[in-house]
Amino acid sequence: MQQGVRIAPSILSADFARLGEEVRAVAAAGADWLHVDVMDGHFVPNLTIGPAVVKALRPHATLPFDVHLMIAPVDPFLEAFAEAGADIITVHPEAGPHVHRSIQRIKALGKRAGVSLNPATPAKMLDYLIDEIDLVLVMSVNPGFGGQSFIASQLKKIAAIRTMIDKSGRAIDLEVDGGIDADTARQAVEAGADVLVAGTATFRGGPGAYAANIAALRGQ
């Protein structure tokens, strides 16, 4: 049933002193995408990494780089992340008043454009974006930190967005981020998700465990 689900390890839970090696290790362990959490200490209460780190990691893997921007303002940084090697760039409508413009800009930069919805943001936010976007990222925790618990109310939202996407007839990925383990992975996929972000559940146990951790998220 989970066949076809893609796993996107979040490097937020990797060993930051050995990031290049960590990226190579999850790629070798079967990761489909690499999820990069960018935080500004303003839109979310944590600081992480910028485009220089994305650029430094780029030669370490051919996997799509799935860059999740939790920063406000976001528009001034889109070009830098595109140039650094992002393949997918995801923005939050909550981070600024002009998310449609941000999406247009990401596409003009030749990248796939995603929108991320916080736990309290309704699916309805997508009504006038669905014809423009390539990905929806449902936050199943409040953004800012790894290792939080999955918020079960988001399953209903995932299902509602699955219906919207199917109705649109467009190839839009439905990705879920936060508190994903083998159990919540199954629930998210049953609700309609097709890409799962996992930080803690991928990186726990160190490199020797990554392949088994990723397989467990696929339900194997």
For the question of residue 177 being annotated catalytic, the response is yes
- DSSP string covering 29-58: TT-S-EEEEEEBSSSSS-B---HHHHHHHG
51 binds, options Zn ion, ligand DX5, none, Cβ within 5 to 8 A by partner type: none
The CA-based diameter of the chain, rounded to the nearest angstrom, is: 45
Residue 90 to residues 17, 56, 57, 107, 207, Cα–Cα distance (Å): 26, 20, 18, 11, 28
* Total chain residues near Zn ion (CB under 5 A): 3
Q: How far apart are CA 178 and CA 182, in angstroms?
A: 12
Active site residue 66: no
Q: Minimum Å distance from CB 146 to ligand DX5?
A: 3
Phi, psi at 162, each rounded to 5°: -60, -45
Residue 32 site contact among ligand DX5, Zn ion, none (CB < 5 to 8 Å, cut-off depends on kind): none
Instruction: Please tell me the distance from the alpha carbon of residue 101 to that of residue 150, in angstroms, as a whole number.
Output: 31
Residue 15 or 127: the one with the smaller Cβ distance to Zn ion is: 15
Instruction: Determine the Cα–Cα distance for residues 44 and 32; give it in Å rounded to an integer.
Output: 26
H helix runs in 29-149, sequence order: 51-57, 78-84, 99-108
Q: Looking only at residues 103 through 142 of this chain, which bind Zn ion when binding is defined by CB under 5 A?
A: none
What is the H or E stretch that residue 70 is in?
A: strand 65-70
Give Cβ neighbours of residue 9 (< 8 Å, ≥ 6 apart): 26, 31, 34, 35, 197, 198, 199, 202, 203, 210, 214
Site string for ligand DX5, 92-131 (x = CB under 6 A): ----------------------------------------
**Contacting residue, 2, 5, 7, 10, with ligand DX5 by CB under 6 A:** 10
Show contacts with ligand DX5 in window 28-57 (CB under 6 A): 35, 37
144 binds ligand DX5 (CB under 6 A): yes
List the one residue from 51, 93, 146, 192 that touches ligand DX5 (CB under 6 A).
146
Q: Which of 68, 105, 111, 112 binds ligand DX5 (CB under 6 A)?
A: 68
| By CB under 6 A, residue 13 contacts ligand DX5 | yes
Site for ligand DX5, rule CB under 6 A: 10, 12-13, 35, 37, 68, 141, 143-144, 146-148, 177-180, 197-201
Provide the annotated active-site residues: 37, 177
Site for Zn ion, rule CB under 5 A: 37, 68, 177
